[in-house]
Amino acid sequence: MKIAQADWVTYGGAPSRTNQASTEAVPPFVEMWQHNTVAGILATPLVRDSVIILATLNGEIQTVNLLNGKRTSYAGFDAPIAGTPVWNGSNIFVPISSSNHSIVSVSLRNSERFWSVALGPIESSPLLLGKQLYVTTLEGKAHCLNADDGSEIWQFKTWQGNDRKPIRSSPASDGETVFFGCERIMDFLIPRRSCCIRFSTLWDFGKCISWGWT
């Protein structure tokens, strides 16, 4: 597939999650076609060249022809897909709301599964930076994975003792630092080769009441 500036292959359109499109939508709008996924959709549709990827709450990945709305391929999973996948070449990384297969690398050509990792349920969207894949989970952890084989490079948990804080926000990045929010906490992770440095801020009713490095 061709890669164009207008392609939308990750949540928010870019690692920064700014939702800025390279083209402008000008009304009036005319419906060209309809496609029934037979399931609810929370994830943002992805678009590349003439293909749309739809992830559903029935645990399905459907590829649809952009020109006519007809489905061209299908892959099923064992739990809902709430977060937006990441499209990387001919495969995608799919976040799943399941403890058995949390993140799966799947081929768009034949639905072959290259690898899967059990990290706990995920309802956020993965972040791909080069060969590193960052995911946040409802277990309150951030993970950095090798995108080629799913092996873990490092993990970071946002809680101590029994004070678990689920992470529902999707990680974002400016290219050097990874950001994500967790209830009243905003974490800034500075990735290193085998670990990360953390700077956290604690918020209460719109005010930053504490901060520090760990």
Q: What is the mean pLDDT of residues 99-126?
A: 93
Q: Is residue 189 part of a domain?
A: yes
**CATH number for 56:** 2.130.10.10
**Predicted local confidence at residue 69, as pLDDT:** 96
Q: Is residue 114 part of a domain?
A: yes
CB contact at 8 A, 179 and 186: yes
Q: What is the mean pLDDT of residues 108-118?
A: 93
Q: Is residue 88 part of a domain?
A: yes
**Predicted local confidence at residue 213, as pLDDT:** 45
Q: Which residues pair with 88 in a beta bridge?
A: 91
Least confident of 57-66, 76-85, 122-131, 192-201: 192-201
**Predicted local confidence at residue 4, as pLDDT:** 67
**Per-residue tokens: 110:** 């034949």
Q: Residue 30: is its pLDDT beyond 90?
A: yes
- Rounded to 5°, the CA angle 85-91-94 comes to 25
Count of structural domains within the chain: 1
Q: Residue 183: is its pLDDT beyond 80?
A: no
**Predicted local confidence at residue 195, as pLDDT:** 55
Residue 51 is given by DSSP the state E
Residue 17: domain span: 11-213
Q: Is residue 62 part of a domain?
A: yes
Q: Is residue 6 part of a domain?
A: no
- What pTM value is reported for the model? 0.86
- Alpha carbons within 13 A on the beta-carbon side of 70: 3
Sheet containing 178-182: which strands, arranged edge to edge?
172-173, 178-182, 185-191, 196-204, 207-213
Rounded to whole angstroms, how far apart are CA atoms 146 and 40? 31
Please give the residue that has the higher pLDDT: either 193 or 33.
Answer: 33
- The pLDDT-based confidence of 72 (bands split at 50, 70, 90) is very high
**Predicted local confidence at residue 189, as pLDDT:** 59
- The pLDDT-based confidence of 199 (bands split at 50, 70, 90) is low
Please give the residue that has the higher pLDDT: either 150 or 142.
Answer: 150
Residue 196, classed as helix, strand or coil, is: strand
Q: Is residue 19 part of a domain?
A: yes
Q: Is residue 4 part of a domain?
A: no
Q: Residue 208: is its pLDDT beyond 90?
A: no
Residue 101's H or E segment, with its range, is none
